[in-house]
Structure 1
């Protein structure tokens, strides 16, 4: 369950970045190429920053399963 929550947080960050970039590119069309480039970099950073919490959530879920099964 924790893994799904972490994946949701990553997805929410990506959606927020895309919405902000789309609105920014609409507001400043001459800078749209730069805005989208920066957005793609920001999305990569969001994904990279989400890896460690995702790994921790996976470990916690696995520990919970092992504890529930008595192993």
Structure 2
């Protein structure tokens, strides 16, 4: 439960997650009930990522990552 509070304070919008990290987050989403801390933590992490654009108008996260997460949720 403490992980949820700590994670909410991290600058997740600056993070560029690697594919293996997204796999872990996906497993937390798919293998745990909505009430589980792992599932809630995965949601907090995904909500904190920068799904928008950089200063140069390019996606902050790759389109591959956008697609992969879209299929997870």
TM-score (norm 1): 0.29
Which structure is higher in RCO with an 8 Å CA cutoff and minimum separation 6?
1
Instruction: Mark the structure with the bigger radius of gyration.
Output: 1
| Higher helix content, 1 or 2 | 1
